[in-house]
A and B are shown apart, each in its own frame.
Chain A
Amino acid sequence: MNIHTSRRGFLTGLIVAVALPQLARAEARPGYFNELPALDGDWAPNAFIRVAPDNTVTVLIKHIEFGQGPYTGLTTLVAEELDADWGQMRAAAAPADAEKYANMAFGMQGTGGSSSMANSFMQMRKAGAAARAMLVAAAAEKFGVPADQITIEKGVLKAGDQSASFGELAEAAASQTAPDDPQVKSPDQFRLIGTDLPKVDTKAKTDGQAEFSLDVYLDGMLTAVVAHPPKFGATVASVDDSAALQVAGVQKVAQIPQGVAVYADNTFAALKGRAALEIDWDDSSAETRSTDQMIDQWTAAARATGHAARDWEVEATGDVDQALSGAEMVEATYVFPYLAHTPMEPLDGVIRLGDREADVWMGSQMQTGDVGTLASTLGIQNVRLNTMLAGGSFGRRAQPDAHFAAELGEVAKAHGPGAVKLLWTREDDIQGGYYRPLTVHNIRAALDADGNITAWDHGIAAQPIFIGTPFEGMLQGGPDFSAFEGASELRYTTANHRLRWAQMESPVTTLWWRSVGHSHTGFAVECFVDELLEKAGRDPIEGRLALLGDDHPREKGVLQRVAQMADMSGDFGYGVAVVKSFDSYVAQIAEVEDRGGIPHVRRVWCAVDCGLAVNPNIVRAQMEGGIGYGLSAVLFSEITLDQGGTIRQQNWDSYPIMRIPQMPAVEVEIVQSAEPPTGVGEPGTPPIGPAVANAWRRMTGKALRRLPIVPVA
């Protein structure tokens, strides 16, 4: 049996007649990157590439790897330009260095917005092409032939019957001058880009060897946990730590700005010590509203001005009020709860503090901000950050306020020189805030006699994500697009359109959650337009294609593709949605069964246009994962506050997550494209919710406008 063939058959619905050869597997390089510059004899043609005498080529990856594939994808770009053998490639985390390793989309080092491939695409290819030019020049000297007679195949440079490997040429290449503007390949010369190269980090993630922050153990290291306020905005009034200090293994208790830190010889003692703390909390500035009350207030604010901290008119074309008056009006209100990200590995990090420097190991998604915050918290200049593999993020580790780095810094400062691991438990994670904002949408639309949409009036009430953080400057005084992206620049053309954002306030902290604003705007827009089409008696796919007009060829391309893929002949509900996010286009069709009044999603078809697919297998995997992540939230997840502000959910028993029985079969097809690559980490998530809700409504007549669909009892 050929596993590659069966995989393709299963995941894409295609039967591939030709068996693919087993590819050699590149690897993630073990060890912390900061040790790498010391490795003897490596040739470093530039900031991204190390060629060792043993003929391995290590690519320094400026983006964190937490499952979305940059270790493999960025390594592929370098290997392509070098014409390397995939088996000789290695990937390692680059050090934190905003000058060398900035995200070109951010101007600082960090990962997010599904930008890793898009911003690195030319940069990494040029790095590879520069190294190639130097290797070719070295080979030309060695072989005594002109450079244009040298070819490279699978990591071997050849001219006539002479040949040499990268490793053999590394020393000579080091004395060549790097070209100013290295020539990259044209797409027709690609041999690796566009193929399903095996991932570099799979093996270590299958045998338990992959090293995460939690796995870092240093000599003499203590483990710390912090008692955080049980309500948002509460602070410590007083602490009695006498019982905690009695716990065997507890070394110290310290009050820090984030709460009360307990340090112990091991994790269990730290947890036991924390449980023994007696803390009086000052709730005077705390959020005491229940989420039910907040939903009422948010709903009023979505429907009309005057109920928010600030009302923003984001877009206005035509005359919406005029168009709505007297027309057949349709109105819907959608309620989206606070959501925790719950990455599989909770937040954690290790710090070794010296007199004037610190070494830090953490799954940092915003290295520049985290290093800066650690340095200022500790009052030192020299912070060396090792970006570790991380057990998921979905946005949670990208913190504009660097709150985890700040807490790690405070924990270290209160302890003094030495090594400490800071661990958040799952309860800390679920109750710790930084949620997808609670959001309410209200949409009113008018239809004319032919069923055309003649007006669309859209109000969204939500807290901001950027405003009030160091990233606020990006907005240049404008509204916080994280609240309404996906509802702005409405694709379903109508001459009369208005979008309002009601800026809400609460001490509950908010953060981007996989696909950010699209996690709710995609649902509201795609459900509402589906209802309008149904009212007008139009087919959901043909109707969308007509509304999209001539200006949205890529949305139409994925819609047409997914319509071809889907088998909608079963006795089930079928629903469609198409969402553009992060410059990628995804359409999905869900097949939904009514199981005792609860939707069970049996199958999902997914078509994606993400420009050039550098590694189609990773693109498919991200669509599968994005669908599972989105479906999990839509079906089950919400964070609620009781009257008084107590957070009801604590762990995965009260904040349920999709498990394997709820996972549909997924088929993904990638629309061929010559456009530059765009992101895939997030865009798979937004369409699944509306596709399922639309299937459900068309099957049962019941519109789903309050998420999650299956509230926890």
Chain B
Amino acid sequence: MTISFTVNGQDRSVDVDPDTPLLWVLRDELRLTGTKFGCGIAQCGACTVYLNGMTRRSCVTPISMVEGSDVTTIEGLSGPEAEAVQAAWTAIDVPQCGYCQSGQVMSATALLQQNGAPTDEDIDNAMAGNICRCATYVRIRQAIHDAAKTLEG
């Protein structure tokens, strides 16, 4: 079955089993490997992308649902919030193994798009779906606060 959608602003069509999760289409078909596999059951957030601007676990999103939609992955992430998040992440060396961090950056950017000055509690609520097995959580909180401050100007 052929399914058409846009990824990072580009038109794409794939001919795959319609049940295939978006995660595996991004990775196996489109070779966008920044989006990671961690659990396959919407528990960890390593596979977080934006579907029509909203965060979405690509591991449980069948590609048939994506027809006609806009997908953004870490490779296509842009805008002031994304830049602020990535700069803050880099400045305090948030990542350890790094494997969860595409998902963390996607979720953190989405949080700042909604809420320009999140409290610790806002951060905990918004980021609770993203596991970091290296437990970089202390720095994730700090980097989100730092990014919010740079966006304030």
Chain A residues at the B interface, C-beta cutoff of 8 Å: 1, 3-4, 6-7, 10-11, 25, 66-69, 198-199, 201-212, 214-215, 217, 223, 248-249, 266-269, 272, 342-346, 389-392, 394, 423, 425-426, 617-618, 621, 624-629, 632, 651-653, 657-661, 663, 665-666
Q: Which of A249, A394, A652 has the most CB of B within 10 A?
A: A652
Pair A663/B137 contact, Cβ less than 8 Å: yes
A392 cross-chain contacts in B, Cβ below 8 A: 96-97, 99, 133-134
Pair A214/B37 contact, Cβ less than 8 Å: yes
B99 cross-chain contacts in A, Cβ below 8 A: 212, 343-345, 390-392
Give 20 new A-B contacts, CB below 8 A, not counting A342-B133, A344-B99, A624-B138.
A1-B150, A6-B146, A10-B142, A67-B95, A201-B95, A203-B90, A206-B89, A208-B102, A267-B37, A344-B36, A344-B100, A344-B134, A391-B99, A426-B40, A624-B136, A652-B41, A659-B129, A660-B124, A660-B130, A663-B141
B88 cross-chain contacts in A, Cβ below 8 A: 3
Whole-angstrom CA separation of A343 from B116 in the bound complex: 32
A605 nearest CB across to chain B (Å)? 13
Listed from nearest, the 8 A-B pairs whose CB atoms lie closest are A628-B135, A208-B34, A391-B99, A205-B98, A67-B96, A208-B74, A67-B97, A663-B137
Pair B93/A199 contact, Cβ less than 8 Å: yes
Whole-angstrom CA separation of A6 from B145 in the bound complex: 10
A25 cross-chain contacts in B, Cβ below 8 A: 90
B125 at the interface (CB under 8 A from A): yes
- Check A652/B131 contact, CB under 8 A, given A208-B102, A661-B125: yes
Jot down 18 A-B pairs with beta carbons below 8 A, ordered by A: A10-B142, A66-B97, A199-B95, A201-B98, A202-B90, A206-B105, A207-B105, A208-B102, A211-B33, A215-B27, A217-B33, A344-B46, A390-B99, A391-B97, A426-B40, A617-B93, A625-B136, A665-B138
The residue of chain B having its C-beta at the shortest distance from the C-beta of A630 within the complex is: B135
Q: Which of B16, B38, B73 has the most CB of A within 10 A?
A: B38
The residue of chain A having its C-beta at the shortest distance from the C-beta of B120 within the complex is: A665
The residue of chain A having its C-beta at the shortest distance from the C-beta of B100 within the complex is: A344
- Check A266/B24 contact, CB under 8 A, given A391-B36, A392-B133, A659-B131: yes
B97 nearest CB across to chain A (Å)? 4
Pair B17/A652 contact, Cβ less than 8 Å: no
Pair B73/A390 contact, Cβ less than 8 Å: no
Interface residues of B in 23-60 (CB under 8 A from A): 24, 27-29, 31, 33-41, 43-44, 46
B132 at the interface (CB under 8 A from A): yes
B115 at the interface (CB under 8 A from A): no
A6 cross-chain contacts in B, Cβ below 8 A: 142, 146
Partner of A344, one of B128, B133, B141: B133
Whole-angstrom CA separation of A422 from B106 in the bound complex: 27
Whole-angstrom CA separation of A198 from B95 in the bound complex: 12
B129 cross-chain contacts in A, Cβ below 8 A: 659
Whole-angstrom CA separation of A10 from B95 in the bound complex: 17
B71 at the interface (CB under 8 A from A): no
A658 cross-chain contacts in B, Cβ below 8 A: 135, 137
The residue of chain A having its C-beta at the shortest distance from the C-beta of B86 within the complex is: A206
B27 cross-chain contacts in A, Cβ below 8 A: 214-215, 267
B100 cross-chain contacts in A, Cβ below 8 A: 344, 391
A223 cross-chain contacts in B, Cβ below 8 A: 28
Q: Which of A7, A266, A344 has the most CB of B within 10 A?
A: A344
Pair B128/A666 contact, Cβ less than 8 Å: no
The residue of chain A having its C-beta at the shortest distance from the C-beta of B33 within the complex is: A215
Partner of A3, one of B43, B136, B137, B146: B146
A608 nearest CB across to chain B (Å)? 15
Whole-angstrom CA separation of A278 from B96 in the bound complex: 40
B20 nearest CB across to chain A (Å)? 4
B36 cross-chain contacts in A, Cβ below 8 A: 212, 214, 344-345, 391
B38 cross-chain contacts in A, Cβ below 8 A: 344-346, 426
B42 nearest CB across to chain A (Å)? 9
A110 nearest CB across to chain B (Å)? 18
Whole-angstrom CA separation of A248 from B15 in the bound complex: 12
B102 cross-chain contacts in A, Cβ below 8 A: 208
B142 cross-chain contacts in A, Cβ below 8 A: 6-7, 10-11
Whole-angstrom CA separation of A109 from B97 in the bound complex: 20
Pair B37/A651 contact, Cβ less than 8 Å: no
Whole-angstrom CA separation of A204 from B94 in the bound complex: 12
The residue of chain A having its C-beta at the shortest distance from the C-beta of B129 within the complex is: A659
B101 cross-chain contacts in A, Cβ below 8 A: 205-206
Whole-angstrom CA separation of A632 from B133 in the bound complex: 9
Pair B40/A629 contact, Cβ less than 8 Å: no
Pair B128/A659 contact, Cβ less than 8 Å: yes
Whole-angstrom CA separation of A425 from B24 in the bound complex: 13
B135 cross-chain contacts in A, Cβ below 8 A: 624-629, 632, 658, 663
Pair A390/B97 contact, Cβ less than 8 Å: yes
B140 at the interface (CB under 8 A from A): yes
The residue of chain A having its C-beta at the shortest distance from the C-beta of B147 within the complex is: A3
Q: Which of B35, B139, B149 has the most CB of A within 10 A?
A: B139
A114 nearest CB across to chain B (Å)? 14
Pair B128/A661 contact, Cβ less than 8 Å: yes
The residue of chain B having its C-beta at the shortest distance from the C-beta of A629 within the complex is: B135
Whole-angstrom CA separation of A663 from B139 in the bound complex: 11
A625 nearest CB across to chain B (Å)? 5
Pair A344/B89 contact, Cβ less than 8 Å: no
- Check A67/B134 contact, CB under 8 A, given A3-B91, A206-B101: yes
B109 nearest CB across to chain A (Å)? 11
B19 at the interface (CB under 8 A from A): yes
B7 cross-chain contacts in A, Cβ below 8 A: none
Whole-angstrom CA separation of A201 from B99 in the bound complex: 12
Partner of A4, one of B35, B43, B89, B91: B91
A69 cross-chain contacts in B, Cβ below 8 A: 96
Pair A3/B92 contact, Cβ less than 8 Å: yes
A359 nearest CB across to chain B (Å)? 19
B74 nearest CB across to chain A (Å)? 3
Partner of B43, one of A198, A423, A621, A652: A652
The residue of chain A having its C-beta at the shortest distance from the C-beta of B133 within the complex is: A344
- Check A68/B96 contact, CB under 8 A, given A266-B28, A268-B17, A426-B40: yes
A199 cross-chain contacts in B, Cβ below 8 A: 93, 95
Pair B74/A651 contact, Cβ less than 8 Å: no
A649 nearest CB across to chain B (Å)? 12
Q: Which of B33, B43, B134, B136 has the most CB of A within 10 A?
A: B134
- Check A206/B46 contact, CB under 8 A, given A249-B17, A392-B97, A627-B135: no
Q: Which of A267, A391, A624 has the most CB of B within 10 A?
A: A391
The residue of chain B having its C-beta at the shortest distance from the C-beta of A264 within the complex is: B28
Whole-angstrom CA separation of A69 from B98 in the bound complex: 11
Pair A210/B29 contact, Cβ less than 8 Å: no
Pair B34/A344 contact, Cβ less than 8 Å: no
The residue of chain B having its C-beta at the shortest distance from the C-beta of A664 within the complex is: B138
A203 cross-chain contacts in B, Cβ below 8 A: 90
